Amino acid sequence: MIKYIVISISIFLLSLLQVSFLSELFGAKYNPNLVLAFTLSLILLGSLEFGLYSGFIGGLMLDLMSVSLFGFSALLNVSFVLCIFYIRKTFFKGNVSFSILAFSANFLYLALVNLPRSANLYFYIFPSVSTLLFLWVFYAIVKNAYRGFLKNEYNQLNFKNRL
């Protein structure tokens, strides 16, 4: 229960940062998606349960704090988490392929959220790169600061621990 409270507080703070003044700090051209980066860092640690939870709650927080269709970001985050987790589990297990999948997920997220007003898809490359950089920063922070705290009972990418 404490794990979910910590994740909820982290997601709330990250979504508040993302919506409030992060575009002013980085500029609209490099504005990263902190919620998706944090969610994918949890998937990189191997926890599908916490990744799905943070993706759903983070998407709802983003939809509540911004002007968008309620639940659309949550749906996109959860679908990206499931796709990336199962692609990583079955096909590609390396960090380079995970980075490519995370970049593609953020690019597709931006294209779908900004669909009515998207003029040029070229503008989504820089936010996707900055989201990828924040993903690896969050991965290092979560891995080193919360050693074992966010670990599930078993690593969901490894079948040996399930037996």
Asked, for residue 147, whether it belongs to a domain, the answer is yes
Asked, for residue 13, whether it belongs to a domain, the answer is yes
Q: Look at 66 and 161; give whichever has higher pLDDT.
A: 66
On the question of pLDDT at 6 being above 60, the answer is yes
Asked, for residue 93, whether it belongs to a domain, the answer is yes
Q: Report the domain count for the chain.
A: 1
* Distance (Å, whole) CA 146 – CA 95: 21
Asked, for residue 73, whether it belongs to a domain, the answer is yes
C-alpha to C-alpha distances, 128 to 70, 75, 89, 134, nearest whole angstrom: 23, 19, 23, 10
Task: Show the domain range for 12.
Answer: 2-20+32-154
pLDDT in tens, 50-97: 889 999 999 999 888 877 778 888 999 999 999 988 888 888 788 888
Asked, for residue 125, whether it belongs to a domain, the answer is yes
pLDDT in tens, 93-141: 888 888 888 888 888 888 888 776 666 777 788 888 888 888 888 888 8
Non-local (6+) Cβ contacts of 125 within 8 A are 107
Asked, for residue 27, whether it belongs to a domain, the answer is no
